[in-house]
A = this chain, B = another copy of it.
Amino acid sequence: MGGNSFGTLFTVTTFGESHGAALGCVVDGCPAGLPLGVEDIARELRRRRPGGGGASTTRMEADEPELLSGVFEGKTLGTPIAIMVRNTAQRSGDYDALRDVYRPGHGDWTWEAKYGFRDHRGGGRSSGRETLGRVAAGAVAKVFLGEYGIVIQAWTSSAGGIDVPGPEDPAFDLDEAEKNPLRIPHRLCAQLIMEKIAQLRGEGDSAGGTVSCLVTGMPPGLGEPVFGKLDARLGAALLSIGAVKAVEFGAGFSSAYAQGSMHNDQPIADHEERAYRLPPGVPALGFKTNRAGGILGGISTGMPLEFKVAFKPVPSVAKEQQTVDQGGSLRELVIQGRHDVCIVGRAIPVVEAMAALVLADGLLLNRGARLQA
């Protein structure tokens, strides 16, 4: 399976270059009978479009998805769901100056070292526009997960060097996150960070940030032990997003500094009504804390999944940089074009999409765990 497909049973293959004719995806393995419409996909794609407020590129694409196959009379057929988004606002000329020069922090040269040549227009396939296919596929996965009560929600937990307090803070408000372009769930922090972003834009610079994610409604039992652990598959999914340089689950890096007696989450009997059923003879169980981030031994515990990813700063800065050209000579480079200053706000639907794809796949894989499905 090539590098452009993901998943074992609920699979997605994405295609498209930033300035080619179209981008999109084919979702294969989505069970039949799922209510699905083009609006389910369009809604998620709108969430990844550039927002206002100065953090984002000014390239404005409609990004209207077209549902080419796999749905009949409002329900999935069990056949491949192909979704296409046409590119319309290409200004390829913007990139002529970049044809023979390697932008720092981008994959321009590694791409050539691998393939011998590259599409230099907007990064070609290595562009952030590649995530359109992911978000479209993730939208399908989200609808599927919704049938089982699983909800994925990500937010900006740090940007421009400023940390945002977490759910334990009284001012933390996920509704707020969808109101500001950086998706910061905290009104005051949002203001501070937007100011910082504006300043960086003025300086021709850019910022990184972190995205945190919470998945509720998780059934226990998802994840395949050993190499197919749920955290391993989520890790692969998240690190496959361009610009992500780190990922952690639950207590993450801080767990390396903890002691076992204080780090273990204590199991407790669970008396709540649940949407899932356990195998006969297995008692319902919860945990007093969730330092494990909802995963033990690579298998979901039924507690919320919690993970965090780090995005490096956008490498396309307006400041002059030094680099090398195709002839091997030193070059001064000032990048033109329409670029984001901080990508994390727009990356949130991408993070959610990747998590959704892993979980949809995990749900289907789990159907094979026992003698009776």
Q: Size class of A's contact patch?
A: 35 or more
Q: Is the CB of A107 within 8 A of B242?
A: no
- A170 at the binding interface (Cβ < 8 Å): no
Contacting B at CB under 8 A, from A235-257, are: 235-240, 242, 244-253, 255-257
Q: Is the CB of A296 within 8 A of B80?
A: no
A260 contact from B266, B315, B365, B368, Cβ within 8 A: B315
Q: Is the CB of A9 within 8 A of B229?
A: no
Most buried by B among A34, A69, A247: A69
- What's the minimum C-beta distance from A80 to chain B, rounded to whole angstroms? 4
- Give the complex CA separation of A242 and B32 in angstroms: 21
- A165 at the binding interface (Cβ < 8 Å): no
**Chain A 252-278 per-residue mask, 1 if CB under 8 angstroms from chain B, else 0:** 110111111101111111000000001
Q: Is the CB of B267 within 8 A of A15?
A: no
Q: Is the CB of A246 within 8 A of B245?
A: no
A26 contact from B15, B221, B233, Cβ within 8 A: B15
Q: Is the CB of A79 within 8 A of B124?
A: yes
Known: A26-B26, A292-B105. A248 touches B285 (CB 8 A): no
**Chain A 85-124 per-residue mask, 1 if CB under 8 angstroms from chain B, else 0:** 0000000000000000010111111111111111100001
List residues of chain B with CB within 8 A of the CB of A117: 32-33, 72, 75, 77, 279, 281
List residues of chain B with CB within 8 A of the CB of A327: 283
**Chain A 1-38 per-residue mask, 1 if CB under 8 angstroms from chain B, else 0:** 11111101111011111001111101011011110000
**Chain A 330-346 per-residue mask, 1 if CB under 8 angstroms from chain B, else 0:** 10000000000000000
- A56 at the binding interface (Cβ < 8 Å): no
Q: Is the CB of B2 within 8 A of A296?
A: no
Q: Is the CB of A28 within 8 A of B5?
A: yes
In the complex, the chain B residue whose C-beta lies closest to that of A293 is B245
- A64 at the binding interface (Cβ < 8 Å): no
List residues of chain B with CB within 8 A of the CB of A282: 109, 112-113, 116, 326
Q: Is the CB of A82 within 8 A of B281?
A: no
- A153 at the binding interface (Cβ < 8 Å): no
- Give the complex CA separation of A14 and B70 in angstroms: 11
- A328 at the binding interface (Cβ < 8 Å): yes
Q: Is the CB of A249 within 8 A of B245?
A: yes
- A78 at the binding interface (Cβ < 8 Å): yes
New A-B contacts (8) at CB < 8 Å, excluding given A31-B371, A109-B285, A285-B324: A15-B28, A17-B70, A77-B117, A109-B220, A114-B299, A263-B313, A266-B322, A364-B368
Of the A-B pairs whose beta carbons lie under 8 Å apart in the complex, a sample of 6, sorted by A's number, is: A5-B11, A15-B81, A104-B266, A105-B292, A109-B285, A245-B252
